[in-house]
Amino acid sequence: AQKVTQAQTEISVVEKEDVTLDCVYETRDTTYYLFWYKQPPSGELVFLIRRNSFDEQNEISGRYSWNFQKSTSSFNFTITASQVVDSAVYFCALSGINFGNEKLTFGTGTRLTIIP
């Protein structure tokens, strides 16, 4: 069975501060994908990133960066110089890669509030 844990239910930071959202996962699969999605107040689910379990390189996209560590089963997400528009619920998710194992298992989400 797959499981994703986002221990931080809510986080509030002042604008321009850096913030890290934690994600820990469990899976018996040897190959898998990890994801982050953003759900702004308008309610849609926006894809942010997908990482393959083969690739442990960290990734940076503008103010966003992701740290994947297989040894600790973690896939953490950092926002640098946070902005009010970053306020949203962020979901970490996990899926298998092989046919029949493609469903995404989501964590419970972290509600991030950026205070102006």
Residues near another protein (CB under 8 A): 33, 35, 37, 43-47, 50, 91, 99-100, 102-109
**Cα angle 36, 62, 78; round to 5:** 45
Q: How far is the CB of 102 from another protein (least distance, A)?
A: 7
> In whole angstroms, how close is the CB of 94 to another protein at the nearest point?
12
- Rg, Å, the chain Cα set: 14
Nearer Cβ to another protein (35/77): 35
Q: Given the complex with another protein, which of 7 and 115 has the nearer CB atom?
A: 7
Of the candidates 115, 85, 70, 87, the residue with the CA atom closest to the CA atom of residue 21: 87
Entry field: residues in the chain: 116
